[in-house]
Amino acid sequence: MNESVLDVKGMNCPLPVLRANRALRSMAPGARLRVLATDRAAVADFQAFCRETGHALLACSEEGGVFTFLIRRRPDPPERKEA
């Protein structure tokens, strides 16, 4: 499975989520993005972001003040056919 890493350590809300959103838009459906952040607000921010956008938050952990989020990009919506 394709996985990219986004290091947003030292950035404060809302930058980690905004940078992750930009990265996810350029990734293939189903690809994984591992985000490294130090902002404590990122925990709630990424939970809400994934809930609202349909991306899957696969894992969230913290070690030594660094939060790691593993996000799977949502599938593209099916194209609508015009009648």
pLDDT, one tens digit for every residue, the chain (83 residues)? 579 999 999 999 999 999 999 999 999 999 999 999 999 999 999 999 999 999 999 999 999 999 999 999 999 766 666 65
**Beta strands 32-37 and 66-72: pairing type?**
antiparallel
Strand order in the sheet with 56-63: 3-7, 32-37, 66-72, 56-63
Any domain includes 82: no
Any domain includes 83: no
The boundaries of the domain holding residue 43 are 3-71
Task: Give the three-state DSSP class for 43.
Answer: helix
**Beta strands 3-7 and 32-37: pairing type?**
parallel
Any domain includes 10: yes
How many domains would you assign to the chain? Answer: 1
Any domain includes 45: yes
Annotated catalytic residue 60? no
Annotated active-site residue in 6, 7, 11, 13: 13
Can you give the CATH number for the domain in which 8 is found? 3.30.110.40
